[in-house]
Structures are given as C-alpha cells and as structure tokens.
Amino acid sequence: MPVKREDDIATTVVDRVTTENGELVLRCVGSHFEIISNGTFLMDTRDGQSERLLVDAAVDAAADAAGAAGLRVLIGGLGVGFSLGAAVARPEVGHIVVVERELPVITWQSGPLAPFSDHAPHDPRVEIRHTDLVAWVHAAADDAAGEVPSGAERFDVLCLDIDNGPDWTVTSSNDSLYGDAGLRALRRRLRPGGVLAVWSAAASPAFAARLAAVFDDVRAEEVPVRVPRGVPDVVYLAR
Ligand SMILES: C[S@@+](CC[C@H](N)C(=O)[O-])C[C@H]1O[C@@H](n2cnc3c(N)ncnc32)[C@H](O)[C@@H]1O
C-alpha cells in the first residue's frame, strides 16, 4: 500500500489573525492542527507527551511536598490545551489559572482545539486570563526595600510553556522571563514548597545553571520526540 507523505496531506488555513504580537495562524494538516506564530511553528496537536509531563511532574512534586489537595496551578501559555487537559485530570488540583496573551488561541479552545484539552475550559476549577505572562510575573518584583508586594498572587505549581524554550523565544519580549531577574520573580510567585516547571524543545545547560543559582533543587526530565533524529524535549523542574 502506498504511504502518504506529509507533503501530500491537505493543509488548510482555519484562521489567520493579526494581533499586537504579529500574525497567528491556525492550520489543519490532515487530522492535526498547527499554530504558527509570525511564520514560526509554535505548537501542534500530534504529540502532547512532554506538555502533559510539564504539569504531571510538577503536580507530583508539589503534592509530595505539601501533601496537599486543592493545589493552585498556573499554566503559562494555553497553546492547543494539552497542559491544561493534564491539570484538569489531576484530582489534587483545586484551581487552575491559564495565562494566555493571544485572544484567538483562547477562542480556538471553544472551537477546533476543544478536544485537545478534553473541553477543560468547562471545568469549574479553570480560569482563563487574557494577559501577558511576563508582565504578570514581573509585577511581583521586590519594592525598593526588597519586600514582595503583600497582595502578590502565589501558586503551588507554575508551568511555563510560552516559547519553544528559554533559548528560542517567540518574541523578544519573552526573553526576560528566563534571566536572573525573571527567575527570582517566578520564585516569588510560588507558595512554600511550590514547584516551577519550564518546557524546552532542547536542553539548555545555561538555563539550568541560572535556575540552580536561584532555586535549591533543580532537575530535568527528557522526553524523546517522534521526529527522526530530533533532540528530546526537556522539562526543567525547580523548587
Ligand atoms: C507552545 S504553546 C503552549 C503549548 C501548551 N503547553 C499546550 O499544551 O498546548 C505557547 C503558548 O504561549 C502563548 N504565549 C506566548 N507568549 C506569551 C506571553 N508572554 N504571555 C502569555 N502567553 C504567551 C502563545 O500564544 C501560545 O498559546
């Protein structure tokens, strides 16, 4: 039987929107969807293993530490919804805040991408915020006296997947999240015993070193990808 090559599979543009961050395209390739941001591949629906691990590994670690139910989880970057679906599937999770800066991505979750989060936005624990994660993180910066604002919102788990990784950001405005000040601001957003998880399309030794300078305990989990000769995805976990 002849094998159909990817190039032969029909591709249709489902939506094309220009936002303040540039052009965003949702396209359908056979039975799969792809999100393209300013011409760069951002996410697809083919394999969500590492995006789910991002949540599961962090929730496991936070639940071990806190022995807790009712964990507060933040997911940075909705994408196609794999990470959100993983969070909703965890009974230890009491509240999930999704921070997404692109309105079309939120809208697609009520349309063609709904199955990939298992229709998670309907779960009463889920709150989706249309805002910039980087701005939200830095809003918890120290004041002049080195104090964290008392009203700063904190989480047991922060799961970040807004880029292709710390070394391959989708817009330069995201770069600061992965630097020393960004990591310190992220630490301030964690409750005691809380866990930060960061997704990357490849290992980043420099980022791992910066994490280790800010957090006491850092580890990395690798997830092989299906692409021939592709390097593994990496989930960094820090507490
Ligand atoms: C790689 S996708 C996330 C994939 C997601 N983990 C999943 O399971 O599908 C990255 C998402 O982050 C969003 N994003 C990029 N920069 C952002 C920012 N500064 N603040 C909030 N969301 C952002 C993109 O619009 C996109 O939806």
Residue 42 Cβ contacting ligand 1 at under 6 Å: yes
**Is 37 inside any structural domain?**
no
Q: Does the residue 59 lie in any domain? A: yes
**Is 86 among the domain residues?**
yes
Contact 154, 35 (CB under 8 A): no
CATH value at residue 128: 3.40.50.150
User: Is residue 13 a part of any domain in this protein?
Assistant: no
- Residue 33 maps to a domain: no
Pair type for strands 40-44 and 32-37: antiparallel
Q: Is residue 84 part of a domain?
A: yes
pTM of this structure? 0.93
How many domains in the chain? 1
Examine residue 97 and state whether it is found in any structural domain, yes or no.
yes
Ligand 1 site, residue 80, Cβ cutoff 6 A:
yes
87 in contact with ligand 1, CB cutoff 6 A: no
Render each residue's pLDDT in the chain as its tens digit; 239 residues. 444 455 667 899 999 999 999 999 999 999 999 999 999 899 999 999 999 999 999 999 999 776 667 999 999 999 999 999 999 999 999 999 999 999 999 999 999 999 999 999 999 999 999 999 999 998 866 544 445 566 779 999 999 999 999 999 999 999 999 999 999 999 999 999 999 999 999 999 999 999 999 999 999 999 988 766 679 999 999 99
- Residue 20: inside a domain: no
Question: CA angle 129-130-132, nearest 5°?
Answer: 105
For residue 160, what are the domain limits? 47-238
